[in-house]
Amino acid sequence: MKTVLALETSCDETAVAVLRRRDDHSGNELLASEVASQVAAHEKFGGVVPEVASRNHLIYAPPLLDRAMSTAKIDLSNVDAFAATSGPGLASSLMIGASIAKGLAIGFGRPYLAINHLEGHLLSPFFGDADGDEQVRPNVSLIVSGGHTMLVRVHALSDYHVVGCTVDDAAGEAFDKVAKMLGLGYPGGPEIEKRARAGDPNRFDLPRSMQGSENFSFSGLKTAVRYLLPRIVEERRLTQTPYKLDEGVLADLCASLQQAIIDVLVTKTIAAAQKYDVSLVTVSGGVSCNQALRRQLADACTREGFEFKTAEPWLCTDNAAMIAFVALLRLAAGFESHVTKEIDPNLALV
């Protein structure tokens, strides 16, 4: 058996996980997965403040590490390798997790693995499958999170081709920025999804941009909502900023925004799967927790004859379990990082 301890501190979540690979290929055993959220600390700012995030990582990481080892019921000396997210993300945050993992690797004379945060999301739909590299099957994958929206052609572990990516705002950023306009909470995606359930997605005609491209753009959608809001306010004689709409109009606007984003994501993902002739479509990242997106993408895959896979919601938001999973796969494939490897806030997937 091989046991990996991983840390994820790319943004505002401090996470530690311990994952064990069974020798009998019966699957991976998650011994511990601990996450300390900083949402409350950043909510008043309407977004993540790097200095606040890094200070909180320093506070949360040591007790989180102790709790993970206690839950896993093993000693650090029994860990076979240590891993951490090396990018992309906030430099001051990435340094915390990477420094801890490197220190432990040096102290216990174990391998260190620097893991790409995007690869963690990319492979998370395979987390619960049987062990071994064979589980990373060829597919077209949609990664959709707060800072990233991209389509990736996956051939095998470490063999990826980026089909398309966002040229400006990611889908998650569009949710967050519109939520801020509306005076909703942070992060914006869950707040908009909650209100969209009671709304009419056809009430407001919002743009679906770059329909002829494999890339994404959601900045125009955000701008369209910005220009639409004063017209709604004028019609209803409302003057507050952020705009305070009555619940019915707010629900319809949230539903219309959500549907515009989903239409783009689903259409481009299915088109990519058809173009690259795969049988499997996967989706991952924090925005993939959106139930309407999951349902509509799954339905589209069924109609078009594709198998559909996604990770459980807890594995889609930032966590260390997905980092440990990639580290185990890479360790088994003979990969290892040197402890001098630097973090890279702009680390690309390929």
Partner residues linked to 29 by β-bridges: 20
Torsion of Cα atoms, 135 then 35 then 54 then 48, to 10°: 90
C-alpha angle 156-86-78 in degrees, rounded to nearest 5: 85
Record the pTM: 0.93
Amino acid in position 225:
V
Contact 327, 299 (CB under 8 A): no
Q: Is 143 in a helix, a strand, or coil? A: strand
Percent of the chain whose pLDDT exceeds 90 = 82
Torsion sign over Cα 34, 39, 42, 46: positive
Q: Specify the residue for token string 């950023």.
A: 173
CA-to-CA distance for 112 and 339, rounded, in angstroms? 6
Burial class, 165, CB count within 10 angstroms (exposed 0-12 / middle 13-18 / buried 19+): middle
Q: Specify the residue for token string 């080892």.
A: 69
Can you list the residues of the chain whose pLDDT is less than 70?
Answer: 23-26, 130-134, 234-243
End-to-end Cα distance, the chain? 30
Closest CA to 288 of 122, 156, 133: 122
pLDDT at 271: 97
CA atoms within a 13 Å half-sphere pointing along the CA-CB vector of 85: 36
CA-to-CA distance for 93 and 90, rounded, in angstroms? 5
pLDDT at 231: 86
Helix, strand, coil in percent for the chain, rounding step 5 = 45, 20, 35
Question: How many Cβ atoms are within 10 Å of 280's Cβ, its own excluded?
Answer: 17
CA-to-CA distance for 174 and 169, rounded, in angstroms? 6
